[in-house]
Structure formats: structure tokens, C-alpha cells
């Protein structure tokens, strides 16, 4: 699996869209801080607002990265030389998680620097911010698991676009959770999904541990399900 992971990382580094995503982390962070400063709404939780848009972009690029392995048929090169299917899947999953997390880390680091420059440490509670960042990173890993699952299950170019489409119902649920008066059990269910989790990070997360746990559960479930399906599926 290490060999495949190394190959995935090498190929990602070669892709312009992947490098643009890393640069986008810096651009979005500066943009968010500058606009908030201009509208006099800059605080230490504003940085989490841009995350949903960023997650959509990462999912599209990440999904296309995996689906390219099918559209170019290069997945055959891995299987023909004896790599186990579980290794192929997990190498893709780990590469996707790294791809989702590194630009987001760049985004957070840039945001923190921008906030420190523009408003100083005013209103900053490090423990809350670190907890929110942790929730966001685990949510990103869960989204990467979902992206990998869809791309590896659809097995063609559509697998690159489908994760993006799937995110819209999640966003709708997030909006419903905030706008409608739903039962607590329904709210908890919706909040266990990564995208709605990201929408509640605009203020300190009160259920951070629970959200991290649900992200881990989503990651594990989709990874196991994806691996099981991929192990049995016929490829072209």
C-alpha cells in the first residue's frame, strides 16, 4: 500500500488543480479576513464560514483525481502487477484525506495569521478555536471517505462529479437544521453529517466530541463499505 500511496501523492503533486486548491487555501483565508474587516464583522469564528465552499471544491478535485484512474484505465496497471484491491482502495482513501486536510490546514494557518494581524488576540479563546479546527478536520476526513466511496463505486468520470452533487442535499439538511424547528433527535442526526457540522462552527462547537465521533464513524463505515464493494466488483 505504501508504494501506491507514494504514487498517488506523486501524481497529486503533478496536478495543477491540486496545487490550485492549496493556493486557494491562502486566497480564501485572506479574502474572508479582508471582507469581514471591511464590513466590520471580523471575529475568530468567521474563518469557519468559508469551509463549506472549500469542501465542495476539494471534493470535486479529489473525486476527479480518483475517477481519472478509471477513465485512463490506469487502475489496471495496479491490479495487473498484483496489488491487492484493499491496498488500492486504502491508498486512494489516505491520499484523499491528505488532499482534503492539507489545503484546509493552510487555510486555517493563513486565517489565524490574518486575524492576528487585523484584530489581534481579541475575542480569541484558543481551546474553542482548536476544538473547532479539530471538528473541521475530522469532518473533512469523513467527506474524503465519502468522496472516495462514490468515486471508487461509480468507477467512471461521473464518479468525480457525483460527490459534488451529493453535497447539495447535505447542505439542504444543514439549512433545515438551522432554519426549521426540528425535533432534537432529528437535529442530532443531521448534525452528525459532516457538512451540517461545518455550518455550526461559526461559533464555538458545544458538541465537539460528539461531532468528531460521528465523523470517525462515517469515515469507518464508508471505508469498510467501499473496500468491500471494490473487492468484489468487476472492472473494465
Residue 15 interacts with other proteins (CB under 8 A)? yes
Q: Let me know the angle formed at the C-alpha of 10 by 9 and 15, rounded to the nearest 5 degrees.
A: 95
Q: State which residue, 10 or 38, has the beta carbon closest to other proteins.
A: 10
- Smallest separation, CB 166 to other proteins (Å): 26
- Smallest separation, CB 83 to other proteins (Å): 7
> Measured between alpha carbons, how far is 65 from 144 in angstroms, rounded to an integer?
12
Q: State which residue, 77 or 186, has the beta carbon closest to other proteins.
A: 77
The interface region with other proteins, picked from 71-79, 110-118, 199-207, 219-227 by CB under 8 A, is: 71-79
Among 169, 47, 65, 66, which residue's Cα sits nearest to residue 115? 47
Q: State which residue, 80 or 185, has the beta carbon closest to other proteins.
A: 80
The interface region with other proteins, picked from 22-30, 36-44, 68-76, 172-180 by CB under 8 A, is: 68-76
As a three-state string, the secondary structure of 103-166 is: HHHHHHHHHHHHHHHHHCCCCCCHHHHHHHHHHHHHHHHHHHHHHHHHHHHHCCCHHHHHHHHH
Hey, which residues between 74 and 103 contact other proteins (CB under 8 A)? 74-84
Residue 21 interacts with other proteins (CB under 8 A)? no
Contact residues for 18 (Cβ-Cβ < 8 A; gap 6+): 12, 61, 65, 99
Residues that bind other proteins (CB under 8 A): 3-4, 6-7, 10-11, 14-15, 72-84, 232, 234-236
Amino acid at each position: 500500500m505504501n508504494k501506491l500511496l507514494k504514487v498517488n501523492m506523486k501524481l497529486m503533486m503533478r496536478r495543477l488543480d491540486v496545487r490550485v486548491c492549496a493556493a486557494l487555501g491562502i486566497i480564501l483565508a485572506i479574502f474572508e479576513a479582508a471582507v469581514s474587516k471591511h464590513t466590520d464583522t471580523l471575529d475568530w469564528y468567521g474563518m469557519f464560514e468559508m469551509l463549506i465552499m472549500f469542501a465542495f471544491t476539494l471534493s470535486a478535485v479529489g473525486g476527479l483525481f480518483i475517477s481519472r484512474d478509471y477513465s485512463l484505465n490506469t487502475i489496471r496497471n495496479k491490479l495487473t502487477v498484483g496489488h491487492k484491491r484493499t491496498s488500492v482502495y486504502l491508498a486512494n482513501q489516505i491520499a484523499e484525506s491528505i488532499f482534503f486536510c492539507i489545503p484546509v490546514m493552510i487555510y486555517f494557518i493563513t486565517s489565524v495569521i490574518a486575524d492576528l494581524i487585523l484584530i489581534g488576540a481579541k475575542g480569541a479563546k484558543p481551546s474553542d478555536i482548536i476544538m473547532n479546527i479539530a471538528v473541521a478536520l475530522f469532518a473533512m476526513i469523513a467527506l474524503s471517505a465519502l468522496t472516495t466511496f462514490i468515486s471508487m463505486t461509480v468507477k467512471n468520470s461521473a464518479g468525480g462529479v457525483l460527490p459534488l452533487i451529493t453535497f447539495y442535499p447535505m447542505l439542504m439538511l444543514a439549512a433545515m437544521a438551522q432554519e426549521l424547528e426540528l425535533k432534537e433527535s432529528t437535529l442530532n442526526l443531521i448534525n452528525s453529517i459532516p457538512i451540517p457540522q461545518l455550518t455550526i462552527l461559526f461559533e464555538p462547537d458545544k458538541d465537539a466530541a460528539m461531532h468528531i465521533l460521528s465523523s470517525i464513524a462515517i469515515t469507518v463505515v464508508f471505508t469498510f463499505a467501499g473496500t468491500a464493494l471494490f473487492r468484489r466488483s468487476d472492472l473494465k
